[in-house]
Amino acid sequence: MPTTSQSSFSAAKRQSGKLAAYLPIIIVALLALVFGLQVQHKNANTPEELPDFERVILLPTPRALSAFSLLDENGDEFNNESVKDQWNLLFFGFTHCPDICPTTMLALKNVRQRLEAQGKWPDLRVVMVSVDPDRDAPERLKPYVNYFHPEFKGVTGDESAITAFAKELGILFIKNEADADGYYDVDHGVSMILINPQGNYAGVITAPHVESTLETDLALLAEHLDIEAAISDQESNDQGLIQSHADSETGGVDLTSDITISNAWVRAAPPNSPSLSAYLVIENGSAQTLTIHGASSPLFGNIMIHATVIEDGVASMDHLDELSVSAGDKLSFAPMGTHIMLMGAIRELKLNDQIPITLDTNVGDMSFIAIVSEQTPQ
C-alpha cells in the first residue's frame, strides 16, 4: 500500500501532467500581457517621465475595470468603488500556499516597514486576492493577512467572479486535483497588479519579487506618484487661474468693444528650454493711447517685453520698459519682432496648454489666454 508521501508524489505527477497541457496557453497569455505592457511603456513614456524601475511597468493609459463584486476579509462587499481614492497593490494567492504566498506577503511587510521609517512608502494598500475561494472564507483570510500587517486586506468571493476578475487583470490560476487526503494545490500567476485611485488598472509588478528590488521599485514609485500628484494639483490650480482670468474684469476696459487681444499663442519649445515667447495682436479701438508697462503670469517666475533687433547680421534683444499703442492703431507681437519673453516655468508645458497672461497697462490690468502652439494660429 503506498504511503501518504508516495500518494502525494503520484498526485503531483498527475497534476504536473495537467499543468503541462495548459502550459502553452499560460505562457502565451503571460508573454502577451507582459510584452504588451512593456511595449506600451516604452513607446509612450520617455526616460525623463518615468523612474528607472526594475520590475514595475506602468500603462500609458490606465484601463477601466469591468464591474465586479467580491468579499473582503470582514465579509463586506469589495467592488469597483472599494479600490478608488487610493492606490492598491493586488497580489493573487491563497492561505494554503506553502511557499511563494507567505514569502511575498512577508516581503511586502518588511518593505513597507523599512520605507515607512524613511518616509518613502507610497500611499499603497496591499490586497491579497484569494485564488482558492472554496477554502478561503473571509474568517480564514482575516487572520492570515493581518498576521503580516493590520492594514493588509484579503479578498475572496464566488469562484466565477474571482476567475473573471483575475482574467481581466491577466492573472491565470488552475486548481489541481486533490490527493487521497483531499489536499489540493493551486497554480497561479504571481505578478502584482497596480490599481490607481480612479479604480483603473494602471500597471504591473512582474516576478520574481526579490525583496531588495521590490523596496527600490516601491520607493521610486512613491516618488513618481508624489510628482504626478503635484502636477495634477498644479494643473487644477492652472484651470482655476485660467477661469479666474477669463471671468475677471479688466480694469474697466471692455476688450470686446474698445481694445481687443487676438491670436495669442506661446511657441512650443524643445525640452529643457529655459525661456519661451508669447505673441499676440492688440487693436486699440478706444479714444486714448494704450501704454503697456509690463506683463505677468502665474505659470512663470519672470516675464519681460522684448524686441528682436537685427543689425549687420547680428541679432539682439532690446528690453522694453513700456510700449504704446495709439488710439485706433494696432500692434502685433510676432516672431523676429516684439514679443513677451516667458522665463522660469513652474512646470513643463505641452501643446495646446492654456497660459494665462496679464498685461499691466495705463487703463488697468488686461488678462487673456495664450495657447501653446508650434506656429501662429490660423
pLDDT in tens, 22-66: 444 444 444 444 444 443 443 334 334 678 899 999 988 899 999
Which residue reads 501662429 in cell numbers?
Answer: 376
Instruction: Say if strands 77-79 and 69-72 run parallel, antiparallel, or are unpaired.
Output: antiparallel
Distances (CA, A) of 340 to 242, 275, 324: 18, 10, 14
| Residue 99, C-alpha cell as written in the block | 511557499
| Residue 253, C-alpha cell as written in the block | 476696459
Three-class DSSP category at 169? coil
Query: Which pLDDT band, with edges at 50, 70 and 90, does 11 fall under?
Result: very low
Residue whose C-alpha is closest to residue 167's, from 17, 76, 21, 32: 32
Residue whose C-alpha is closest to residue 168's, from 347, 41, 29: 29
Rg (CA), the chain: 30
CB 155 within 8 A of CB 78: yes
The distance of Cα 241 from the centroid of its chain, to the nearest Å, equals 23
Question: Is the per-residue pLDDT at 217 higher than 90?
Answer: yes
- Can you list the domains of the chain with their CATH numbers? 4-232 (3.40.30.10), 250-373 (2.60.40.1890)
Please state, in angstroms and rounded to a whole number, the distance separating the CA atoms of residues 369 and 358.
Answer: 9
pLDDT of residue 13: 37
Please state, in angstroms and rounded to a whole number, the distance separating the CA atoms of residues 115 and 229.
Answer: 19
Which of 40-54, 188-202, 262-276 has the highest average model confidence (pLDDT)? 188-202
Element (H, E) at 290: strand 290-296
Three-class DSSP category at 183? coil
pLDDT above 70 as % of the chain:
76
Instruction: Say if strands 124-130 and 153-156 run parallel, antiparallel, or are unpaired.
Output: parallel
Question: Is the per-residue pLDDT at 84 higher than 70?
Answer: yes
Question: Is the per-residue pLDDT at 218 higher than 60?
Answer: yes
| Range 311-319 contact pairs with CB under 8 angstroms and sequence separation of 24 or more | 317/341
Q: Is 0.75 topped by the overall pTM?
A: no
pLDDT, tens digit (0-9, with 9 covering 90-100), for 317-369 = 788 999 999 999 999 998 888 999 898 887 878 888 888 999 999 988 888 99
Ramachandran area for residue 157 (φ above 0: left; ψ -120 to 50: alpha; else beta): left
| Residue 10, C-alpha cell as written in the block | 503520484
Residue whose C-alpha is closest to residue 358's, from 233, 232, 244: 244
Which residue reads 489536499 in cell numbers?
Answer: 183
Please state, in angstroms and rounded to a whole number, the distance separating the CA atoms of residues 226 and 249.
Answer: 36
pLDDT of residue 352: 86
